[in-house]
Structure formats: C-alpha cells, structure tokens
C-alpha cells in the first residue's frame, strides 16, 4: 500500500524536511496546447491582438514557478535557482517545456508542472478570441499531456 506523506489520520500536514540534506535538484515538465492552424500562424508571425504570446507565456511560467508554494497547499517554498522555458510549435500544437533547478531539501517537480500549466493557460487566454466558434465554444482547443519528463537529484 502506498504511503501518503501529507496525510495523518483525518488531518493533512506539511511534511517536515528539516532533517533532510540540501542537494541539487532539477525537474523538467512538459505539456501541449492544440490550437487552430490560423491561430498558430498568428502566434508564429506575432500578429495576435494581445501581443507576443510566447514571450508572455514564458514570463507567466517563471512567475508561476516562483509562486507554486502559494498555489499548492502542502508545497514547501523553495529557493528557485533557475528556470528555463522552451516552446516547440508545430502545425497542430505548441509544446511547452519547463526545467527548474534548486538546491534544497525537497523536490522541484511541482514547480515545473505549475510552470508548464500556467504557460499553456496563458497561451489559451491570449488567443481565446480567435479560438472560439460562433457559439462561443472551443471545439478544437485543448491542453494535453502535462507530465514530469525527468526529476534529478545530485550531491553538491
């Protein structure tokens, strides 16, 4: 049976990591947003109404990484040593990849996942007027495949 470290009977708790050693940690997460081909073209050509979509999504991802502990209740505030955000655009989707580094007592994968999620949500928000159909719905727009690609730990 799996052990859940954030549950103590009927109560939730933040795990005490004070006795754990500080080590280098790195996590990479990825996800995709599927958009209409016209929207993808506008993003690539930087002709969307709200401005540079990917530059804005990159900033949003970095801010989200730094604020993860405020969003997810049992996450520890971590010193973020570095964040990289990359986008790959195809004729069907934009793939966001976020890598986060820290030196500390606990993992950084939630920060990477939060960064990817917010990057993709920001893209959606910036192009939603172009993605809506005549009924105000989003028939083809979707976010998929958000996942941790890798998690690493190493001594100093």
Determine the average pLDDT of the residues in 13-37: 93
Provide the pairing of β-strand 23-34 with 142-154: antiparallel
Q: Tokens representing 60?
A: 């949003």
Would you say domain 27-154 falls under CATH 3.90.550.10? no
- List C-alpha distances in Å: 133 to 70, 101, 139: 35, 40, 7
74-111 residue pLDDT tens: 899 999 999 999 999 999 999 999 999 999 899 899 99
Report the chain's mean pLDDT, rounded to a whole number: 94
pLDDT in tens, 103-137: 989 989 999 999 999 999 999 999 999 999 999 99
Burial class (CB in 10 A: 0-12, 13-18, 19+), 77: exposed
Per-residue pLDDT tens digits for 44-53: 999 999 999 9
Task: Identify the pLDDT of residue 7.
Answer: 64
Catalytic residue flag (residue 8): no
pLDDT at 141 over 80: yes
The predicted structure's pLDDT at residue 6? 64
Catalytically annotated residue among 8, 10, 125, 133: 125
Number of C-beta neighbours around residue 16 at 10 A: 10
Q: What CA–CA distance (Å, rounded) separates 124 from 33? A: 8
């Amino acid at each position: 049976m799996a052990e859940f470290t954030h549950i103590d009977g009927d109560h939730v708790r933040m795990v005490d990591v004070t006795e754990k050693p500080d080590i280098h940690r790195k996590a990479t997460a990825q996800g995709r947003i599927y958009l209409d081909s016209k929207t993808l073209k506008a993003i690539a050509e930087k002709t969307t109404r709200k401005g540079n979509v990917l530059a804005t999504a990159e900033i949003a991802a970095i801010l989200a990484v730094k604020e993860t502990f405020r969003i997810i209740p049992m996450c520890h505030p971590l010193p973020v040593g570095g964040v990289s955000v990359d986008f790959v655009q195809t004729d069907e989707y934009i793939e966001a990849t976020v890598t986060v580094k820290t030196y500390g007592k606990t993992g950084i994968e939630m920060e990477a996942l939060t960064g990817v999620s917010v990057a993709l949500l920001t893209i959606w928000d910036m192009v939603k007027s172009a993605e809506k159909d005549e009924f105000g719905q989003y028939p083809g727009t979707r976010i998929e495949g958000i996942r941790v690609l890798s998690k690493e730990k190493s001594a100093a």
